[in-house]
Amino acid sequence: MADAAQTGNSGNSSILRINKLTKKFGDVAAVDSVSIDIRKGEIFALLGASGCGKSTLLRMLAGFETPTSGAIVLEGEDITRMPPYQRPINMMFQSYALFPHLTVTQNIAFGLERDGMPSDQIDARVNAMLDLTQLKAFAKRKPHQLSGGQQQRVALARSLAKRPRLLLLDEPLGALDKKLREQTQIELVNIISEVGVTCVMVTHDQEEAMTMADRVAVMQSGRFLQVGAPREIYETPQTVYVADFIGNVNLFKGSLTVDEPDYVMIDSPEGKIYVSHGITGTQGMAVQVAIRPEKICLQRTAPTPAERESAREDGYNCVRGIVKNVSYLGSYTTYHVKLDTGMTLKVMNSNDARHDENRLDWDDTVYAWWDGSDVVVLTQ
């Protein structure tokens, strides 16, 4: 009890505290000692490859899986062993799990009826939910008479109807096609923020996590590798796995040759790299350097020192190669540039000009260069 009160006090904006939560199936830990504080009102995304334990963690929050060890504390109350039907938490299921024999209205009212709410209040609440999710016209239909997008909104309405203190979303848009998914992402975020509910969502789609979430946790083998705002995770990944998992990245392997407090230099087979910030490392240490494709410039002639003042010294942050692939993707074009060492550099440049006289083509020899501040050095 004292423990619960204490955890409730620390961090006044925290609504849910997960403490060293572990779930083992046999000998394998599907979730391995995860600790995190979820802040009130935020959308927190669990992101990771298939089988990394996202669903298992979410199902423990809902109460469908019993943790092997650890604690779940919601607003100061330990709910680790509380059955799902008593938790003030609602979940939107992966393929919605709408009750096929009930109408949209009855589906939404199901949870309210379980609370013994008077029927006039239920009607009012269901109507509010139908308005919120724009389902008025479909109130009397059965789930199988609805499109995928409409079913998704019913599932959302049903999970919001009871005003849960925490909303869990398992792959909320996984069953929708790409076009509808992008539109629904925004819609979903709008509804969630209108209601003001705290959300934990699971997704394996990094774009979805980036678009919707306030914070993202990248998971691997049941552990959190990195937790942070989408931008932070994208711009400053802490591990090779995270850098590689979130978006596209070019990785250079090398060793630290100069280690100064405000800059470092790295030697890699592809060339010398200058980084305009310090890192925690020792000279001679093996590192990887990550550069995002859109941070690289391509041109036919070697860049002049004036063009790239931040590179500081000539010969740094510039490699030469041959264009091996050009994919025009509308607003931007991606290039695959083959370097002398055999490495393929991915570059992504936006298409600002309609008619680019200087357009690069297959088998052109090009110089690729980047700014020393756009580089992330990864030591693990």
Minimum CB separation of residue 24 from ligand ATP in Å reads 9
Of residues 26, 100, 284, 315, which one binds other proteins by CB under 8 A? 100
Region of residue 211 (left: phi > 0; alpha: psi -120 to 50; beta: else): alpha
Cβ closest to other proteins, residue 82 vs residue 339: 82
Q: What's the N-to-C CA distance of the chain in angstroms?
A: 40
Please give the residues from 278 up to 307 whose contact with other proteins meets the rule CB under 8 A.
none
The answer to whether residue 152 forms part of the interface with Mg ion (CB under 5 A) is no
Site string for ligand ATP, 292-331 (x = CB under 6 A): ----------------------------------------
- Contact indicator for 304, 311 with CB cutoff of 8 Å: no
CA angle 265, 266, 270 (to 5 degrees): 135
Of residues 7, 22, 24, 62, which one binds other proteins by CB under 8 A? 62
Of residues 14, 43, 47, 56, which one binds ligand ATP by CB under 6 A? 56
- Contact indicator for 320, 365 with CB cutoff of 8 Å: yes
The answer to whether residue 204 forms part of the interface with ligand ATP (CB under 6 A) is yes
Which of these ranges, 20-28, 60-68, 73-81, 219-227, lies near other proteins under the rule CB under 8 A?
A: 60-68
Which of these ranges, 7-15, 45-53, 154-162, 305-313, lies near ligand ATP under the rule CB under 6 A?
A: 45-53
The one of ligand ATP, Mg ion, other proteins, none whose footprint includes residue 162, by CB under 5 to 8 A per kind, is other proteins
The one of ligand ATP, Mg ion, other proteins, none whose footprint includes residue 144, by CB under 5 to 8 A per kind, is other proteins
Site string for Mg ion, 23-62 (x = CB under 5 A): --------------------------------x-------
- The CA distance from 151 to 157, in Å, is 10
The answer to whether residue 80 forms part of the interface with other proteins (CB under 8 A) is no
> Which tokens belong to 17?
């505290």
Q: How many residues bind to ligand ATP according to rule CB under 6 A? A: 11
Cβ closest to ligand ATP, residue 104 vs residue 167: 167
The answer to whether residue 92 forms part of the interface with ligand ATP (CB under 6 A) is no
Q: How many residues bind to other proteins according to rule CB under 8 A? A: 27
> Which tokens belong to 300?
């036919």
Task: Write b or e for each residue in 192-212: b if 16 or more Cβ atoms lie within 10 A of its Cβ, otherwise e.
Answer: beeeebbbbbbbbbbebbbbb
Cβ closest to other proteins, residue 97 vs residue 297: 97
> Which tokens belong to 323?
């264009």
- Residue 46: count of CB within 10 angstroms of its CB: 27
Q: How many residues bind to Mg ion according to rule CB under 5 A? A: 1
The answer to whether residue 85 forms part of the interface with other proteins (CB under 8 A) is yes
The one of ligand ATP, other proteins, Mg ion, none whose footprint includes residue 85, by CB under 5 to 8 A per kind, is other proteins
The one of other proteins, Mg ion, ligand ATP, none whose footprint includes residue 308, by CB under 5 to 8 A per kind, is none
- The CA distance from 22 to 185, in Å, is 30
- Contact indicator for 165, 74 with CB cutoff of 8 Å: yes
Which of 20, 173, 27 minimizes the C-alpha distance to 92? 173
Q: Is 166 helix (H, G, I), strand (E, B) or coil?
A: strand
The one of ligand ATP, other proteins, Mg ion, none whose footprint includes residue 311, by CB under 5 to 8 A per kind, is none
E strands present in the chain: 14-25, 28-39, 43-48, 69-74, 77-78, 89-92, 166-170, 198-203, 215-220, 223-228, 250-259, 264-268, 271-275, 286-291, 297-299, 318-328, 332-339, 344-350, 365-369, 376-378
E strands present in 213-296: 215-220, 223-228, 250-259, 264-268, 271-275, 286-291
- The CA distance from 150 to 162, in Å, is 20
Interacting residues with Mg ion (CB under 5 A):
55
Binding site for ligand ATP (CB under 6 A): 25, 30, 48, 50-56, 204
